[in-house]
């Protein structure tokens, strides 16, 4: 999108500031709307379409003294997360402005500003939004919609990119991730974008197979091979011939089962129980586990030679707490599904309810979010979901791995402290700070944005 096609909303309680910006932008953009009262923000951004908001950090009619801009920034991002927001701040509020970047602002300008600098900042924000929208659209379009992978966060765009690269190959894939993150959807997406897409996609939960059923289920059996073998049976390897075999929960199989599986993968031949006939199989193998790779590499639990065999390329599906930018998108998706299923219409979440969802840590990941949305759609009596209607599952543990969390917190705090010191040293100049840190402006913004309260 060019600057000439942009619609911009300017919110500042200083009439002189509004006049100055309106005069500057009126010949540069399609539309400039100015507003002195931040209380009208909700109405303005929900009743009209804006590409960018210029938002003052402080207002005389205080909402949260000293943090008014942050308060209204959060309201904007909760209602319309796609809108770019540039904060307007005095030099004395640089710390607040930097904090606004991690709350979702795309940039900030310091009063008094140079007109050329303001125009350049606005132009860059508009272009950045356009680039991201194009990338999201392309990635989502390239991912088969019937796989139901929903996401536009940076980590999910990276996964979409990896799927697009590896799907056309026959490389064996190992998908890692916690329960409920959608590993099976990733496996299905890889198959659907592969050259085998018109052939079978066969899924097996190998972790649930007993020792006695493992060989029969995977390799098949001949009639009379054991007591209950009343007929010949085709195994999953044969059923997937020419297509994709997805072995879920591969980390839960025994060493003896691993040995049998390794032999088949090396030789690409199976032998049905009760038979000596070697049957060639042509499959693309995808495996998944909720175990981290370092645990899987423990040879007392899992053979390393099998890891190398199944792990030509790995994909790590992040937990929902690491991709909170996708919560709004996922919620809308599930609301549409369950509203139709249960004959409800025009269901939406209030700002406060959506904020409650965003604050929750989701130990059960996307699967837990799905159940939460289905439950609230069934139970709701009105059209607007409020916070007290959201009930989080008591099944899920409320604690995360403390060691991992503490380590991440320490590293994050050190990185944050270093970045803020360099920004302060450069008087809030993001370009200079990024150069001193050896980062691009975009990379610096990305690091600032990842910090959570």
Predicted confidence pLDDT, tens digits, the chain (453 residues): 567 788 899 999 888 889 999 999 988 888 899 998 888 888 888 778 888 999 988 776 444 445 778 888 888 887 777 788 998 887 666 777 777 787 788 888 888 888 888 898 888 888 776 655 555 444 444 443 335 688 888 889 889 989 999 999 999 999 999 999 999 999 999 999 999 999 999 999 998 888 778 988 899 888 876 777 778 888 999 999 999 999 999 999 999 999 999 999 999 999 988 888 999 999 999 999 998 888 887 878 889 899 999 999 999 999 999 998 899 999 999 999 999 999 988 898 988 898 899 999 999 999 999 999 999 999 998 889 999 999 887 765 444 444 444 444 555 666 677 777 777 777 777 778 777 777 777 777 767 766 544
How far apart, in whole angstroms, are the C-alpha atoms of residue 162 and residue 175?
Answer: 12
The topology under which CATH files domain 402-449 is Arc Repressor Mutant, subunit A (1.10.10)
In terms of Cβ atoms closer than 10 Å to its own Cβ (0-12, 13-18, 19+), residue 407 is: exposed
Predicted confidence at residue 407, as pLDDT, reads 44
> What residues pair up with 220 in beta bridges, in sequence order?
234
> What residues pair up with 176 in beta bridges, in sequence order?
289, 316
pTM of the complete model: 0.58
Q: What is the CATH number of domain 320-389?
A: 1.10.8.60
Predicted confidence at residue 404, as pLDDT, reads 46
Domain pair 3-136 / 145-316, same fold = yes
Residue spans of the domains in the chain: they are 3-136, 145-316, 320-389, 402-449
How far apart, in whole angstroms, are the C-alpha atoms of residue 204 and residue 264?
Answer: 16
Pair of tokens at residue 299: 């040879």
How far apart, in whole angstroms, are the C-alpha atoms of residue 235 and residue 222?
Answer: 10
For 145-316, CATH number out of 3.40.50.300, 1.10.290.10, 3.30.230.10, 3.90.1300.10 equals 3.40.50.300
> What residues pair up with 270 in beta bridges, in sequence order?
279
> 119-147 burial by CB neighbour count: b if 16+ within 10 A, else e?
bebbbbbbebbbeeeeebeebbeebbeeb
The topology under which CATH files domain 3-136 is Rossmann fold (3.40.50)
How far is residue 239 from each of residues 199, 204, 234, 270, 287, measured CA to CA in Å? Answer: 10, 11, 7, 12, 17
Predicted confidence at residue 224, as pLDDT, reads 76
Predicted confidence at residue 159, as pLDDT, reads 92
């Amino acid at each position: 999108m060019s600057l000439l096609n942009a619609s911009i909303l300017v919110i500042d309680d200083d009439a002189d500031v509004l006049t100055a910006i309106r005069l500057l932008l009126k010949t540069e953009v399609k539309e400039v709307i100015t507003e002195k009262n931040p209380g009208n923000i909700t109405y303005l951004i929900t009743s009209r379409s804006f590409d960018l908001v210029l938002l003052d950090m402080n207002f005389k009619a205080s909402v949260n003294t000293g943090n008014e801009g942050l308060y209204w920034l959060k309201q904007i991002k909760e209602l319309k997360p796609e809108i770019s927001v540039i904060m307007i701040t005095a030099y004395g509020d640089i710390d607040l402005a930097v904090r606004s970047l991690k709350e979702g602002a795309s940039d900030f300008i310091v009063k008094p500003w140079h007109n050329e600098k303001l125009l350049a900042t606005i132009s860059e924000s508009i272009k950045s939004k356009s680039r991201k929208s194009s990338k999201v659209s392309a990635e989502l379009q390239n991912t088969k919609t019937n796989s139901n992978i929903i996401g536009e966060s940076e980590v999910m765009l990276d996964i979409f990119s990896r799927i697009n690269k590896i799907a056309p190959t026959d490389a064996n894939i190992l998908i890692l991730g916690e329960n409920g993150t959608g590993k099976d959807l990733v496996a299905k997406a890889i198959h659907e974008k592969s050259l085998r897409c018109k052939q079978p996609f066969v899924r097996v939960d190998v972790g649930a197979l007993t020792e006695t059923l493992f060989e029969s289920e995977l390799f098949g059996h001949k009639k009379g091979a054991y007591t209950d073998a009343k007929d010949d049976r085709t195994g999953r390897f044969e059923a997937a011939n020419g297509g994709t075999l997805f072995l879920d929960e591969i980390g839960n199989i025994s060493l003896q089962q691993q040995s049998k599986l390794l032999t088949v993968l090396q030789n690409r031949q199976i032998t049905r129980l009760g038979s000596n006939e070697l049957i060639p199989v042509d499959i693309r193998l995808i495996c998944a586990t909720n175990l981290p790779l370092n645990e899987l590499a423990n040879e007392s639990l899992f053979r390393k030679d099998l890891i190398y065999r199944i792990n030509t390329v790995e994909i790590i599906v992040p937990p929902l707490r690491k991709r909170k930018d996708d919560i709004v998108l996922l919620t809308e998706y599930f609301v549409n599904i369950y509203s139709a299923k249960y004959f409800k219409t025009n269901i939406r979440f209030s700002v406060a309810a959506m904020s409650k969802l965003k604050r929750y840590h989701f130990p059960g990941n996307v699967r837990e979010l799905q159940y939460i949305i289905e439950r609230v759609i069934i139970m709701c009596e009105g059209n607007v979901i409020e916070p007290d209607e959201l009930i989080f599952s008591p099944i899920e543990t409320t604690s995360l791995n403390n060691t991992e969390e503490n380590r991440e917190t320490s590293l994050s705090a050190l990185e944050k402290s270093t970045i803020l010191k360099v920004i302060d040293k450069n008087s809030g100049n993001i370009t200079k700070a990024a150069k001193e840190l050896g980062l691009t402006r975009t990379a610096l913004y990305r690091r600032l944005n990842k910090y959570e309260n």
